[in-house]
Structure formats: C-alpha cells, structure tokens
Amino acid sequence: MTTVEAPCYTVVFEDSSESPSTQELRLSLQKGSDEAKFDTLRKIIVSTINGNHQPQLLMPVIQYVMPSRNKQLKKLLHFYWEVCPKYDETGKLKQEMILVVNAIRNDLQHPNEYIRGATLRFLQKITRDVELLEPLIPTCRACLEHRHSYVRKNAVFAVYTVYRQHEHLIPDAPELLQTFLAAESDATCKRNAFVFLANCAMPKAVEYILQVFDQIPSMDELLQMSIIEVIRQDCKTDTRYRARYILLVSELLNASSHAVKYEAATTLTSLTQNPAAVKAAASCYVQLVQKESDNNAKLIVLDRLETLRSKHGHVLDPLVMDILQILSSADLDVRRKAIGIVLSMATSRNVEDIVLFFKNQLQKTQEQDFDKAPEYRQLLIQSIHVCAVKFSEVAASVVHALMDFLGDSNNPSALDVVAFVREVVEKFPPLRQTICGKLTQTLGDIKSGKVYRGVLWILGEYAEDAADIQNIFRELRKVLGEIPILASEQRLLEESGAEDGDAQKEEPQPKVEGGGKPKVLADGTYATETAFTSMSNARLEAVKAASKPPLRTLILGGDFFTGAVLASALTKLVLRYTEVGSDRRKANGLKAEAMLIMASVIRVGQSKFVNVPIDEDSSERIMNCIQTLSELQEKLVVHDIFLKDTRTAYAKMLSAQEKKAAEKREQESANEKIVQVDDLLTFRQFTKKTVDDAIDDAEDVVRATGSAEVHEDFISNLSRISQLTGFSDPIYAEAYVKVHGFDISLDVLLVNQTADTLQNLCLDFATLGDLKLVERPSVYTIAPHSFQSIKATIKVSSTETGVIFGSILWEGPGMSEQCVILNDIHIDIMDYIKPAYCTEAQFRSMWTEFEWENRVNVTTSISDPREYLHHVMKATNMSCLTPEGAVSGDCDFLSANMYARSLFGEDALANLSVERTDAGTITGHVRIRSKTQGIALSLGDRITMAQKENKPPA
C-alpha cells in the first residue's frame, strides 16, 4: 500500500494560532461533552487533511468518540475514517481498524435508517481499502432488502461503487440488482438500480426497457431520463431495437417534465432524420420555450432549435408562426434569439405573415407598457428592414407603417427607420414618389437632428417630380418658421422689450443707488452688471426658450451640420426642378428662396441667438451651395456632382455591403472540415449526412476538461518564466506564469543556495489591481542545496494591468528572521483581450457612451500609415472595423476604427488618425475609449511599449 498514491482531499484552512497539543486533544476527547468532542474531532480532521496525521490519537477516537450515539458525531467520524492513516509503515492494515470495521458493521445494522444510509454513503468513499470493505459486503447486501427506501437507494449505489472498483467482491451484482429492480416499487431506488445496469451491464438494462416498454411514459421523471440516456448509448452501436426506441422517444415528447421533453427531443433527432420526427422535436422545443420560466433554459433550447433548423433546412418552415409566439416573453435576449431564427426561416410564402406579426408587435410597443420597449421596437424595425430588403413584395406594405416612427422619441429606432427607408427607396424605384410624399408629411413630427439629416438627404436625392419638390419647399417653410431667421428673432426680442417698457411706465420702479454689482468675465476681468443688462439677458433667454418649429429649434440650438445638409438638399431640389420643370419663373423663385434660407442659416449662426456659433466647415459648405445656385447656368458639371455622384456612391456602398454579406454566408456554409482522398473512413461516416451527430457525453467531458487540447511545447513554456531573485541571493526563485481563462497559476521553484537548513520558509504574495490571491502557500522547510516547488493561484476579475509582488521569509541560523524581496511580475492583458466585431452604429453609440479616454501620441519610425495600423492591431489584439476599401490606396492620411472585447465582456474602442509628413515620418494619435479606466490605460501602455520596441529600419 505504500506505493499507492494518497487520495486528494479539499484543503481546509488551519488557524495555526489555536492549534492545541496532542495531549490537550486527548483530554478533550476523554472528558469533554459531545459538543467538545465534536469541536475537537473537527480540529483533528483539519490537521490531518493539512498533513499532520497524529496517529497517536486514533485509539482515543475509537475509545471515546466511536461509542457515542450522537448523529452529528457519527457523521463527523465518517470524515475522520476517510482521511486518517489506516496502514502502518509496512503497508499492512493497523490492528485498531478491526474495531473500526466492527463499528461500521454495527452501524450498517442500526435500527435508525438515517445512520444506515449515512454509513452506506461512507462506504462509497473508502472503496480503495479492500481489506476494510470485504467484511462489510454481506451486511451491505442485506441492506438492499431494508424496509425503508432511503437505506435501499444508498445500498444500491454502495454496491455499484464497490462492484466498479472491486468486481470480485460482488461478482453477482448485475443479477442481484436486476432482481432488485424487478421487485422494487420506489422510484429513486429503481432509478439507482437502472443506472447500475446501464453502466455495468448494458444488455440487462436494454432487457429491462423492453420488459416495461409500455409503462415507460407513465414512469417517474428520474427513471425516464436514465432510460433516454441508455437509448442514446445503445444506439451508438448497431442495435436492432432502433425502431422501437424511436417510437418510445416520440411518446416521451409529451411527458409532463420539461427535462424529459428536452432530452427526448434531442435524442429523437439523433436517432432519425425523418421530417415528421424532426418537426415533432422542433415543435417540442417551441413548447418548452413558451412554458419554461427560466430565461437561461429558454436560450439553451433556442440554440438547439437553431442547430436543428440549420441542419434540416425548410422542414421547420411550417412552425414559423409558432416560433413567433415566443416573442411574448419579457426577456429581450430571448426575443432577439427567436427573431433571428424566424428571419432565417423566412420565405416568399410566409414573409407576409411574419411582417404582419412584426407590425402588430410594433403597434403594441406604443400602446402597452412594454418592458424595454425602445430596445424591442428597435429590434422589430431592424427585423422588418431585413425582410423588406430580402423580399421586395413586402417593402411597399411596411415602409409607410415604419415611417410613422420617424418622430419616435427613441433616437436609435428612428435612425433605423431612416436607414431602412433609404435602402428601400434606392432598391425599389416605383416606391420613390409615395415614400417621398410620406416623408414630406412627417417633417413636422421629427425631433432628432440625425433623423432630419437622413430624411433631407433622401428627399434631396429621390424627389423627382416638380409638384413633389414644391410640396417639399412648403413643408420646409413650416418646420423652419419665418425667414429670415435672424430678423424674425430680432423682432421678437424688440417686441419683448417694448412690452417690458410699457410695463415699467405703468409701474415706476424706485431708483437704485450705485452703478450695479460687479461681475467676473471669462477672461478674469471685472465688469459692471446693471439692471438694464440683466433685463436684456433675461429677454434674450426668454426669446431662445420660446416654442419654435422643430428644424428651427435645432439650428438655433447649434446643430449646423443639419443646416449644411439642409443647404445641400435644397440645392439638389432646385437643380432637379430646373431639369424637370418648365416654368422658369417658379424655378427662379425656388432658387431665390433656397438661397435666402441658406444665407439666413449663416447669419443666425453668427448672431447672439444661437447657443453655439456656426463652425467653419458648415459655413463653408453652405456658402458652396449658395455659389452653386448663383452660377447655375455657368457650371453645368456641378449638376452631376450633386444629382448623380452622391447617389452612385450610395449604390456602390449598398452593393459592397451585399457582396460582403454574401461572402460571409458562403464562408459559413462552406464545410470547414475537408476530408482528403486518402483519409481513413470510420463507419459512422457511412451514415446519411442529414442525420444529426449522436451526442457523446464522454467526448463533451474530454472537451470540457481540456484533455484533448494541444499542450504548449517546451520553448513556449520557457518564455513564460520570470526570474524573481538574483543568482547571488541565499534563495534563487523563478516562477512559471500560466494563464487559464480567469485564473493565473504560478509555479514557483525555490533553490536553497546556502549550506544551512531554512526553516519556516514562507512565500508571501501580494497583488496590485483587480487580482486576488486564492490561497496563501504553506510554510516549508528546505534542506541545504535542495529544491522546493510551490504553486499559487490568482483570480482575475477585470482586464487591467496587474502586478504581483512579494517576498520570501525564513528562519536562518540562530532563529534569526531573514527576507528576500521578489521582482515584480507584470500580468500581460493581451491574454484577456480578443479581436471582436460590431456595426458602425454600435461603435458610434459606445464611443459616445464611454467616458474614459486615453490619448496616445504617435512616435514611430514606420513611414507607411497602413503598416503602422497593422502594427498597432497586432500589439493590441484589436480588429479593424474600417472596410479594406476605405484604407487601401496610396494616401498620406489614414483614419481607422478598431474594436476588441475582453473575456470579462468589456468593450475597448480605438480610433487611429495618422498623417505622413513631407519628411516621411508619421504624426497623429490613437484615442482609446472604454467604460472602465483600467482597460483604457492598459491598452495605451501597450501601444506605447509597442512603439518603443519597434526598431528603426536598417
């Protein structure tokens, strides 16, 4: 027995400050009460687990604790028998254990069923000790016939455990349990016995299934689950009962237990590819999602349903309306998953029903108090967008309904509607006139500047009828208010001043002595504020706060980007009217009106009535539009720029997006695993390709435990070794740092370089950042010139540059304390950051939301902007979101967006803006944004280090 490796137990913390001596423990066991004995035995167990066995206490435990009738003490005593040393130095069983075996036998015959059951459970933990088990086997077998089911069910598993480890002790166990199963009435006992047969005697388990075939649908849930598992295992071989199994599993789809229904549906799809069976399994999944209350379970079932749909194509199309009923769930993730499945099942036959259901749900988000209604509304709008673009026959029926949401207070939903309308109006020319008419009617309801910009662009590009253009101008006058804007605002201010003056004449105010109160200006100087200036400012604020038309409100609020888009749209409308309209007088009138509006926007942008003065870009853009209209007949080439080039650019963008989506679908549909001609074929590959792969739990366990993973080679392991002390220190220490997901394991090697024995050596670690030491290493004694390996585990809770530092303490000659400070270990955050992808809208939304920004200036010897972009991407593990076409070509300026996500779900955004100077060097900066400060600073440090490590070209 000395060669047998000792079992591994849970490490329990032992407080060394209260460790009594062996004599004190003996006295406490001898004279103490049951409570004192319980506490003492607990201390003995903890001490034994941590390596201090104290064999001299074995006899006192047998003498003073074993005779007790206290149930808690008996339970704790089982823990002690499990961990205490049972063999002497020669590997023979200690004589005292004969008394222990006798006591265990008495407990197995105890009249109390709890003690019997607990003792049977204890037997399962000492199956390595054959000499202890052998005298207890007859008593254990007798417990199978006990009157109480608690004893019988534990006796079954005790027999199972003993038979699996030592078959010769109970050679007839399969026949014994088969007889027991036939006579047993308790559901749990029957399940335990059946599990034994399934793992140790599969033919007998199959025989039992065939015997009780008709009663299985009415059996207990636990036994049904075990039977399904046996069917799954038996069908991996060429069984002749497959047809009967399919019939049985189909009946279990109607079981009352959700777990049984899920397992039955999963097993049925692995047994047959028959469309009726697949449809029945899918219908069962849909019912489970509708009836199950746990959202996590719903998501798991929906994943299984999506897998089924991807393998069986259009077999599940008739269930699309049933899947839509899942949208009644309150959880947004469940709704998003269900909508994704529905969109992948949409065909020309059912798309109208799907879109109609989406429209009804869209109306409910406004009428009823939905949880997360804005997000759900945005999800529905995006889904309708996908359907309408994919199936042109439904575009006309939904586009007008969606345009009612342009005035939605939830800005993302309105922006999604604008994106949808813009794509529809480009792809379906017959709908352009009606869409432009509807957009013109909704101009007064829009509240957002972004939505206004999208709508104005659409109207400027696609309004092609002279009457429509005149109608657009009329509606724009309504949303702009009185023109010129500056003159009307000034008149309102003067009228307000006149009213105040009349009020002052009617009610004369007492004269105020003094010149007024001092006021500090922006430059730090003092000015005097009189009652007159205070009243003027109050009147100006009142004029600003007055109710105004929506577009006028945006311009006065400082949104001059929208003003520039308005100028561009007006220019396009006038240019098109001159082409399609025959009335020159009306054309000149529209041109004059458009120029007046543009000039009015510039004038008011330079006045005191706006919150923010107009920027140079917007002013220059509007002035270009005015110049274009003033030279209308002289520069005809400008017509093509305004009327054709922008629309052509948008059409190219749409085609590029479609091409990219098609490539992605083709890549996903391509078979990833390519079988070579000379590869060896297994028998499973001769089955039909449409059959789902049989679920192999053993393979899942191997995959989950990482046993099948490729291990790192020796060279890569060496690169992770950090030297902690110097070669001249009394102790040499180095650590191998290994990252396992959310854990960091440190394997520290200590070398005693002195000729003295180092006692009570303690390796003390501390952490900086979001790192937490799981357990502190124990105290060791190292002989002269010997080695000691110490392992420590550290938990990581966020992506932040962490530092591990510490020291080594020990007692040298003369009990003098000595210490060596360790070098710091810096944790590389690149182990936790992975490239990720998001849409442009999501990137902009997160960029606006995230408050932490780190700006890193570019200092590098790289001369090519694109090469520097790839250098930064490689150093930070970030992916480039900017399309390849946008960054390709020979250009001295480059701007690109990058994105990554950490294992903890943290988003990291970056914007690279660089320019190549005349000297051939690159200047610019990288801006990093994140929700937390740590990841922004860590990525900035990483970029800075990458720039320093980059050597200048030779």
DSSP 596-618: HHHHHHHHHHTSTTSSSPPPHHH
Among residues 87, 81, 89, 35, the alpha carbon closest in space to that of 61 is found at 81
Say whether pLDDT at 326 is over 80.
yes
The reported pLDDT for the residue numbered 514 is 43
The reported pLDDT for the residue numbered 1 is 36
Q: How far apart are CA 156 and CA 192, in angstroms?
A: 6
Q: How far apart are CA 744 and CA 651, in angstroms?
A: 51
Say whether pLDDT at 612 is over 60.
yes
pLDDT mean over 835-847: 84
What is residue 174's three-state secondary structure?
helix
CB-based contacts of 232, cutoff 8 Å, min separation 6: 267, 270, 694, 695
8 versus 855: the higher-pLDDT residue is 855
874 versus 396: the higher-pLDDT residue is 874
Reported as a pLDDT band with limits 50, 70 and 90, residue 203 is confident
The reported pLDDT for the residue numbered 496 is 66
What is residue 907's three-state secondary structure?
strand
Identify whether the C-beta of residue 250 lies closer than 8 Å to the C-beta of residue 280.
yes
Q: 132-146, 206-220, 408-422, 572-586: which has the minimum mean pLDDT?
A: 408-422
Reported as a pLDDT band with limits 50, 70 and 90, residue 714 is low
Q: What's the CA dihedral at 339, 342, 346, 349 to 10 degrees?
A: -120
> Taking CA 794 as the corner, what is the angle to CA 793 and CA 795, rounded to the nearest 5 degrees?
125
- Write out pLDDT tens, residues 891-950: 788 889 999 988 777 888 999 999 888 888 888 999 999 888 878 888 888 888 888 776
H/E segment holding residue 156: helix 149-165
Q: What sign for the dihedral angle of Cα 158, 161, 167, 169? A: negative
Identify whether the C-beta of residue 445 lies closer than 8 Å to the C-beta of residue 406.
yes
Say whether pLDDT at 2 is over 50.
no
The reported pLDDT for the residue numbered 910 is 92
Q: What is the DSSP letter of 129?
A: -
The reported pLDDT for the residue numbered 911 is 92
The reported pLDDT for the residue numbered 928 is 92
Kindly report the backbone phi and psi dihedral angles of residue 369, in degrees, each rounded to the nearest multiple of 5, phi listed first: -85, 80
Say whether pLDDT at 709 is over 70.
no
- Write out pLDDT tens, residues 648-676: 888 888 787 777 777 776 766 664 455 55
Say whether pLDDT at 371 is over 70.
no
- Write out pLDDT tens, residues 122-157: 888 887 788 888 888 888 888 888 888 888 888 888
Say whether pLDDT at 292 is over 50.
yes
Using a pLDDT cut of 90, give the percent of the chain over it: 2
pLDDT mean over 495-504: 58
- Write out pLDDT tens, residues 414-432: 777 788 788 888 887 887 8
pLDDT mean over 749-756: 89
CB atoms within 10 A of CB 937: 16
The reported pLDDT for the residue numbered 109 is 87
Say whether pLDDT at 239 is over 80.
no
pLDDT mean over 216-231: 86
Reported as a pLDDT band with limits 50, 70 and 90, residue 952 is very low
Q: What sign for the dihedral angle of Cα 926, 927, 931, 933? A: positive
pLDDT mean over 330-338: 84
CA atoms within 13 A on the CB side of 647: 17
What is the arrangement of strands in the sheet containing 787-796, beginning at the earlier edge strand? 721-723, 731-740, 743-752, 787-796, 771-773
The reported pLDDT for the residue numbered 365 is 76
Average pLDDT taken over every residue of the chain:
79
- Start-to-end Cα distance in the chain: 67
The reported pLDDT for the residue numbered 634 is 64
The reported pLDDT for the residue numbered 909 is 92
Report field, pTM of the whole predicted structure over 0.85: no
- Write out pLDDT tens, residues 72-112: 888 888 888 888 888 877 778 888 888 888 888 888 888 88
Say whether pLDDT at 708 is over 50.
no
Rg (CA), the chain: 40
The reported pLDDT for the residue numbered 660 is 76
pLDDT mean over 451-469: 85
389 versus 598: the higher-pLDDT residue is 598
